[in-house]
Amino acid sequence: MPSIKYTYFDGRGLGEVNRVMLAAGGMKYEDVRLHESKWAGMKSATPMGELPLLEVDGTTICQSNSIARYIAREAGLAGKTSIDQAKVDMIMEGARSLFDKAAQIFILPEAEKAVRKKKLEEKEAPELLEYLNKLASGKGYFVGDQLTAADVALYVNYESVGSLTIALPSLDKYPNLKKVAENVKANPGIAKWLKERPVTTY
């Protein structure tokens, strides 16, 4: 079993999906959380000057989505066939786009922020969640009938957007997505992590 070291800031943000998947796969890893001041010194030594980073087998991988896909494969959550894998990929991209939109709004000046926040909350997010709801099964899985990285990505991104003070519609409106969230939370490794993980503001 290669040793795995995962580095991100001390928060959930776009780094959390990987911690949750490592937990789902029962994979041991070093959960390194950097303070901003420490990061400044390390930045230029990383592949793209960004976090998170995954170090495994002497290789460093950056880009949280790419890390997520690698962990998903190792943890058996990537989908069985090429097409299943493509479906998992597309859901992960879609779920992540929700977080990306919210994060972009966060850094805007106040006046623009309010307008964009309203648009996300009232139009863009409900539309995307509606599409995603149709893509999930009644049993609460995006692909096949077992947990994949797609389900995990939906849950973690939804949760993270909430932390950015964006008022997303409740999952009660999206019965299939609600089941997806329940399935994710019920996975033993994930349930344990959700209970034990450090509490952070984002």
Among 34, 63, 121, 193, binds other proteins (CB under 8 A): 63
Measured from the CB atom, the residue of 82 and 201 that comes closer to other proteins is 82
Helix (H, G, I), strand (E, B) or coil at 106: helix
Among 73, 121, 133, 144, binds other proteins (CB under 8 A): 73
The H or E element containing residue 119 is helix 110-119
Joined tokens for residue 150? 């797609």
- To other proteins, the closest distance from the beta carbon of 119 in angstroms equals 13
67 touches other proteins (CB under 8 A): yes
168 touches other proteins (CB under 8 A): no
Among 12, 19, 87, 101, binds other proteins (CB under 8 A): 87
- To other proteins, the closest distance from the beta carbon of 12 in angstroms equals 19
The H or E element containing residue 75 is helix 64-75
Among 7, 18, 85, 183, binds other proteins (CB under 8 A): 85
- To other proteins, the closest distance from the beta carbon of 153 in angstroms equals 12
Joined tokens for residue 160? 């993270």
* CA torsion through residues 149, 151, 154, 159, sign: negative
DSSP one-letter code for 61: E
Using the rule CB under 8 A, give the single segment among 6-14, 28-36, 129-137, 165-173 that binds other proteins. 129-137
Q: How far apart are CA 144 and CA 52, in angstroms?
A: 29
CA atoms within 13 A on the CB side of 25: 25
Cis peptide leading into 52, omega within 30 of 0? yes
Contacts with other proteins by CB under 8 A lie at 47-49, 54, 56-57, 59, 61-63, 65-67, 69-70, 73-74, 82-83, 85-87, 89-90, 93-94, 127-128, 131-132, 135
